Structure 1
């Protein structure tokens, strides 16, 4: 049974699909927003790709976009 995918973190659309690509050992899966085109992190299988799409990071733990401070 397929896992439910959360809304797009960028446009909040619920029109999300799992896409597979590649062949054989080089096959991968990722979540894809059919509205804004955002692609999620790649997983080795659909469950891993779903889990990665649904993972949201706390903004407080993210950096400010300036990289490490050098002093």
Structure 2
């Protein structure tokens, strides 16, 4: 199964981030309806981790492999 990432936006309600990959199903959203600075920092941390993951995948994909 291909991974699926979605962000659902609801106007004046917090967004919901959904991640599906095989057996993993994760939903990320703040517990409260009012967004706090901590919620913003959690979102920023998630973006930074995803960017690092992407950069590492890109680097490994471009690296020469033994026997090539």
Q: TM-score, normalised by structure 2?
A: 0.30
Which has the bigger relative contact order, CA under 8 A and spacing at least 6? 1
Higher strand proportion: 2
Higher helix proportion: 2
Which has the larger Rg? Answer: 2
Q: TM-score, normalised by structure 1?
A: 0.29
